[in-house]
Each structure stands twice: as C-alpha cells, then as structure tokens.
C-alpha cells in the first residue's frame, strides 16, 4: 500500500450524527494517536468547511457508503482512510454472510449471489431476510436443524439478538408491531451454537505497514446486565497472513484465519468496487444442537471497531522496534468504574450509550512473554 504522505492531516470522523459520546471520543483519541505515529498533523474532528480541499487521512467510525459520500470526504482509495468503502449499505453488515432462501426472495439493490456461493463453506448455516413475507419460510427451513439466532443486521456489540427454539416462538416475534420495518432493514437468521469462542482475525494497512493478526474476543455485562463486547486479545505480526501462519498456532486458530481469508477474498471478488484498509472478521467456534463442532465467519468490520485501539498499540510497538516479529495486545471495555491497571493506556473514560460509565484501555505484552 502507498505510504501515507506526511503532509496528510489525520482527521477523526464520526459518521453518525447521533453517535454516542464514547464513540466520538474514542474516534478522536485513536485519530490523534495515529497522527502521532505517522508523523502527521492531527486535524481534530472532520469539518466540511474547515477541511475542504485539504489532503486528509480519515478515521471514520463507520464504513463509508456510496460514491457521493466518498467524494464529499475526498476519499479516492484505501490510502485515504483507515476503514472501508462500499457501494451499498448492506455490504458492510452481517447480511452478506448468508444467501437468500430462494431466487424469489427480496434482495436489496446491488445484492451479489456470488458472495454467498463463495463463502458457503466458511460460514454457519443461515439465511438473510429483507422482507417480512420471506421470514417464516426461512425460519422454518433453519429450525429443522435446531435453534436459530435472530440478528438485526445493523446491530453491533451483540445487542438486539434473540435465540429462537421453535416456529411458535418465531410466530410470536412476527406478531410484534414494528417487525415489518426490522425485516425490511435486514435480519440474519443463523444457527445458534453453544460453548462459543469468538476469534478475531484481520489486517490493517496503515502507511507503509501491513499488520495481520489473530486473537479472541470476550463478552462483559453492561450496567443493565446485558452481555456485550468486553474486549479482544490479539497476536499481531508485521506482514501478510503468511507471516502470521508461520507462528506456532493451535489448529482452531489456523482454521479461523483460513476462513477469514476466504471471506475477505470473496468480498473483493463479489463487490469489486469495495476497498478497505482495515479488515476485521469475527469467527465463531462452538457446538451445534447435535454436539458437532462448527466454525464460521459471523461478520466483517471494515471500520473502527472494538479491537482498533489494540491495533494502533501494535502499530506503535512496531514503529518503535521495526525488527520485532510479533506482539500481543489487548483492548478492554469495562462498565465498572476502576483505576487504570498498571502499564495500561487509557482510550476513553466516561458515560456510555446505555450505561453511566464505560472505561476503554489497551495493554501491550511481548510475544514470547
């Protein structure tokens, strides 16, 4: 990837106008940190008037959707942002992980059947639904093989998901007053696993550095007792996935990396105008209703995510020590007000969207202990 020129101004960009404070402040903290690492000026939060005509390197909170949005921001390719670009909104959601029930099912503009064909062997059993009338046939088909999980495609951090064990229970959901709107926006119905471990696999292309990583993520409870994203532990190398696979890794981790690579390549093939300089994939491994081990990519993240702070910490480590082979980094999110652990780097401390308090921080450890 083309090195980020030092004349570029690194700018935070909170895409959603109603974004919560913790997202906005995390975005600014990471953009400021990136600017320092790259030797660039930090330009604060994006301002259309202030930054017009300037050569920017953007850190958006969301994937950039549509050519008009990219042009307005001055984004021409992956060298202009740490994040991603898609032509249509559904491409950057969970929706692309699964195909439709049939060729007669509703699909959004720009839908590519090729993608679900390419990833069929690296995802769990599931279907994507974009219309209420397609929901019941899809659920009936999947419930033959055990419980399913309903996942709104725009929800994040595990929020809004429900496990359904019978068609009667699904019919109760279909009777809800707002359900038609939810399905029209997109819902994934996917087999539910037990004893799940969620792996994070991905790459970041920043300046002249390519970082590849694997790791796992875990859940924590927010102030209301709901289980949400709690952090990621990553093992990061300089270079492509080949460098990562040279390390001594367990078989389940190797499988997760290989599945992520298939998913990543399918996105490039099925959606050729898509590009991303941050490519993160969640892979779930657990047991299906018959006790059989299953592994599959759940979704992609071509934007700032929970593990982004850990990736920036890894980048800082490799810039400080270019000869270092690998590093272990962790991002942590906790809803308990507590002092910062020794040697941790604070990213955010303050109110959260659904809680009065949220603390985000990063820790760094050597690869070999």
Q: Quick one: pLDDT at residue 358?
A: 96
Distance, in Å, from the CA atom of 86 to the CA atom of 82, rounded to the nearest integer, reads 14
Q: Quick one: pLDDT at residue 56?
A: 96
Q: Quick one: pLDDT at residue 5?
A: 57
The segments of the chain whose pLDDT lies below 70 read: 1-6, 157-158, 369
Q: Quick one: pLDDT at residue 4?
A: 55
51-63 b/e with 16+ CB inside 10 Å = b?
beeeebbbbbbbb
Distance, in Å, from the CA atom of 328 to the CA atom of 317, rounded to the nearest integer, reads 10
pTM for the full predicted model: 0.94
Distance, in Å, from the CA atom of 327 to the CA atom of 236, rounded to the nearest integer, reads 5
Q: Quick one: pLDDT at residue 120?
A: 97
Residues 302-330: pLDDT tens digits?
A: 999 999 999 999 999 999 999 999 999 99
Distance, in Å, from the CA atom of 93 to the CA atom of 86, rounded to the nearest integer, reads 10
Q: Quick one: pLDDT at residue 1?
A: 47
Distance, in Å, from the CA atom of 214 to the CA atom of 248, rounded to the nearest integer, reads 12
H or E element, residue 243: helix 241-245
CB 266 within 8 A of CB 300: no
């Amino acid at each position: 990837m083309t090195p980020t020129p030092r004349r570029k101004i690194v700018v935070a960009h909170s895409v959603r106008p109603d974004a919560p404070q913790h997202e906005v402040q995390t975005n600014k903290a990471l953009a400021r940190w990136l600017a320092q690492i790259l030797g660039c000026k930090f330009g604060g939060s994006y301002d259309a008037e202030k930054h017009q005509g300037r050569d920017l390197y953007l850190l958006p909170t969301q994937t950039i959707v549509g050519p008009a949005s990219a042009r307005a921001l001055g984004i021409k390719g992956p060298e202009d942002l740490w994040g991603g670009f898609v032509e249509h909104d559904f491409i950057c959601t969970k929706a692309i992980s699964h195909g439709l029930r049939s060729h007669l099912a509703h699909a959004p503009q720009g839908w590519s059947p090729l993608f679900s064909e390419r990833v069929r062997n690296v995802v769990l059993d599931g279907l994507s639904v974009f219309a209420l009338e397609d929901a019941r046939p899809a659920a009936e088909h999947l419930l033959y093989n055990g419980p399913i999980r309903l996942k709104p495609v725009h929800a994040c951090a595990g929020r809004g998901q429900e496990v359904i064990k019978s068609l009667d229970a699904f019919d109760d959901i279909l009777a809800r007053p707002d359900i038609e709107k939810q399905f029209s926006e997109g819902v994934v119905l996917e087999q539910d696993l037990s004893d799940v471990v969620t792996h994070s696999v991905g790459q970041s292309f920043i300046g002249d550095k390519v970082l590849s990583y694997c790791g796992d993520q875990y859940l924590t409870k927010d102030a209301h007792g709901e289980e949400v994203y709690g952090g990621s532990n990553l093992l990061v190398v300089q270079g492509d996935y080949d460098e990562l696979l040279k390390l001594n890794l367990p078989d389940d981790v190797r499988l997760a990396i290989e599945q992520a690579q298939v998913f990543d390549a399918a996105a490039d093939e099925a959606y050729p105008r898509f590009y991303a300089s941050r490519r993160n994939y969640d892979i779930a491994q657990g047991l299906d209703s018959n006790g059989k081990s299953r592994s599959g990519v759940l979704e992609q993240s071509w934007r700032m995510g929970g593990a982004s702070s850990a990736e920036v910490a890894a980048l800082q480590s490799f810039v400080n020590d270019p000869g270092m082979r690998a590093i272990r980094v962790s991002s942590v999110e906790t809803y308990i007000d507590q002092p910062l652990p020794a040697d941790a780097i604070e990213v955010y401390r303050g109110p959260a969207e659904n809680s009065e308090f949220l603390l985000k921080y990063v820790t760094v450890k050597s690869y070999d202990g």
